[in-house]
Amino acid sequence: MSIFGTMKTAVSGMNAQANRLGTVGDNIANSSTVGYKRSSTAFSSLVLPSTQGSYSSGGVETNVRYSIAEQGGIQYTTSSTDLAIQGEGFFIVSDPNGTPYLTRAGAFVKDATGFLKNTAGFNLMGYPYGSNPPAAVVNGFNGLEEININDFGLVSSPSTTGSFPANLNKDAAVVPAANRPGANAATAVVTNKSSLTAYDHAGAKVLYDFYYTKASASPDTWEVSVYRQDQSTNGGFPYTATAPKVLVQQTVTLTFDPNTNKLTTASPKSITFNDPNDGATPAQAIKIDLSDMTQFASAFTPGKGIIDGNAPSPITDVEIGGDGVVTAVYQDGGRRPIYQVALATVPSIDKLLPQNGNVFLPTNDSGVVTIGFPQSGAFGQIYSGALESSNVDIASELTEMIESQRVYTANSKVFQTGSDLMDVLINLKR
């Protein structure tokens, strides 16, 4: 047995415990870090060849392991942009150079430029939401953008569809064709009238007048005519427009079933009118659903008019759903999906490479990145207004610290004993 070899073995043991204490120190220091994943030290023996009757002491080496796949607890907050993942998956974030990383640290806050940035300075990434929901690129980061709320700070959208039901009085008098609103004459007889507010491409409010007139009693038919209110003459007929403005006018004839007092199957169920007066291309076309119209022997009763579109309005808040859809909430109460947060995962999660800022990089050992959306496939659910806490258990770490301290002390005793024996050998020479 070599005394010098014994001392080297003791040094190896002390170095191993120092590494162990290093991971314990990191874990305790980051026990309150959002989304932090604890590290631990695994030991393996180093064996040196021995001869018969003589033992050669080896040593120990350490390997650091990361419990990245282990879920941390969910803590709720008061910020709608704080995000936590329950289940598998990582947020995709980027640094100032645009390099993508993976993280579970979801403490995002909108900065002065509109980006959702976490406490380490990484920007949340997602797919822009167009007229249709986005599709994920499953094997790469192509198509992902840094989510910027300010890009949608003041927007409007034109009205395209709506519904405007009403009950028309079955006992109303029939009006001759020449005197119906559809003829747009000064002699028009107004039986019933209501108005609906819509929005043009610039977000300006436009009022449209709806006229309902009994056309015949057998069969029961009604004419519904639509005009643009600001084209009326002193608030009535005729409606006119001076070039380059275009007169907005549309009429449809509805037929009612006398048995059900609802529209027949052959009757039109909607009215569509075009309004090119805002100069947009193509011209604004608005389709109003009339399928819920009725004809009972009761007073004219307009229903609740519903129409899409909105006036220019700033964003007051953002909402992020469990499926990752980022919805802008506007001052006027309107909502619009603008992004969808994507999640990423790898086959061997614990083999990801930790980086500064509580982020991870894929490696050859971790496998190829797969990208998808929350609540799809193996991906977990996003909780808005919540954060994933560290998965560090302080009690376990303190136990590890005490054990490591004891083992380190024991190894130092081995080293000290070897040193004393070396002194004995040296003194033999004197």
Tens-digit pLDDT profile for residues 167-180? 999 999 999 999 99
Other Cβ atoms within 10 Å of 275 Cβ, number: 23
Kindly give, in sequence order, each residue whose CB lies less than 8 Å from that of residue 210, ignoring residues fewer than 6 positions away.
164, 193, 194, 195, 196, 224, 225, 226
Assess contact for 146 and 326: CB atoms under 8 A.
no
Question: Residue ranges of the alpha helices (H) in 137-273?
Answer: none
- Supply the pLDDT for residue 118: 95
Tell me the mean pLDDT in the region 241-245: 94
- Supply the pLDDT for residue 23: 93
- Supply the pLDDT for residue 335: 80
- Supply the pLDDT for residue 134: 85
- Supply the pLDDT for residue 274: 97
Looking at domain 159-308, its CATH class is mainly beta
- Supply the pLDDT for residue 273: 97
Give the model's confidence band at 5: pLDDT under 50 very low, under 70 low, under 90 confident, else very high.
confident
Assess contact for 190 and 234: CB atoms under 8 A.
no
Calpha distance 223→183 (Å, rounded): 11
Give the number of residues written for the chain. 430
Assess contact for 375 and 381: CB atoms under 8 A.
yes
Does position 396 have pLDDT exceeding 70, yes or no? yes
Bridge-based pairing of strands 161-163 and 284-289 is parallel
Q: Comparing 315 with 25, which gets the higher pLDDT?
A: 25
Does position 360 have pLDDT exceeding 60, yes or no? yes
- Residue spans of the domains in the chain: they are 3-67+391-429, 74-155+314-388, 159-308
Q: Which two tokens stand for residue 208?
A: 């449209």
- Supply the pLDDT for residue 231: 97
**Nearest 5°: CA angle at 126, between 360 and 368?**
45
Q: Comparing 186 with 2, which gets the higher pLDDT?
A: 186
- Supply the pLDDT for residue 204: 93
Identify the bridge partners of residue 86 per DSSP, sorted by sequence position: 381
- Supply the pLDDT for residue 123: 96
Does position 260 have pLDDT exceeding 70, yes or no? yes
CA 295 to chain centre: 45
Cβ burial of 112 (10 Å; 0-12, 13-18, 19+) is: exposed
Tell me the mean pLDDT in the region 159-174: 96
Assess contact for 159 and 198: CB atoms under 8 A.
yes
Calpha distance 199→1 (Å, rounded): 92
- Supply the pLDDT for residue 105: 95
3-state secondary structure of 73: coil
Calpha distance 14→29 (Å, rounded): 22
- Supply the pLDDT for residue 58: 76
Calpha distance 319→330 (Å, rounded): 11
Task: Find tokens 């990484």 and name the residue.
Answer: 122
Does position 353 have pLDDT exceeding 70, yes or no? yes
Does position 1 have pLDDT exceeding 60, yes or no? no
Does position 182 have pLDDT exceeding 90, yes or no? yes
Backbone angles phi, psi at 90, to 5 degrees: -135, 145
- Supply the pLDDT for residue 87: 94
Per residue in 106-150, pLDDT tens? 999 999 998 999 999 999 999 998 767 888 888 889 999 999 988
**Short-list 358, 427, 364, 367, CA closest to 392:** 358
Average pLDDT, the chain: 91
Give the model's confidence band at 252: pLDDT under 50 very low, under 70 low, under 90 confident, else very high.
very high
Q: CB-hemisphere CA count at 13 Å for 228?
A: 22
- Supply the pLDDT for residue 366: 94
Backbone angles phi, psi at 388, to 5 degrees: -90, 120
- Supply the pLDDT for residue 57: 76
Give the model's confidence band at 30: pLDDT under 50 very low, under 70 low, under 90 confident, else very high.
very high
Q: Which two tokens stand for residue 167?
A: 């009950």
Does position 86 have pLDDT exceeding 90, yes or no? yes
- Supply the pLDDT for residue 429: 67
Does position 238 have pLDDT exceeding 90, yes or no? yes
Q: What is the dihedral of CA 172, 177, 181, 184, to 10 degrees?
A: -170
Does position 430 have pLDDT exceeding 70, yes or no? no
Give the model's confidence band at 424: pLDDT under 50 very low, under 70 low, under 90 confident, else very high.
confident
- Supply the pLDDT for residue 126: 94
3-state secondary structure of 222: strand
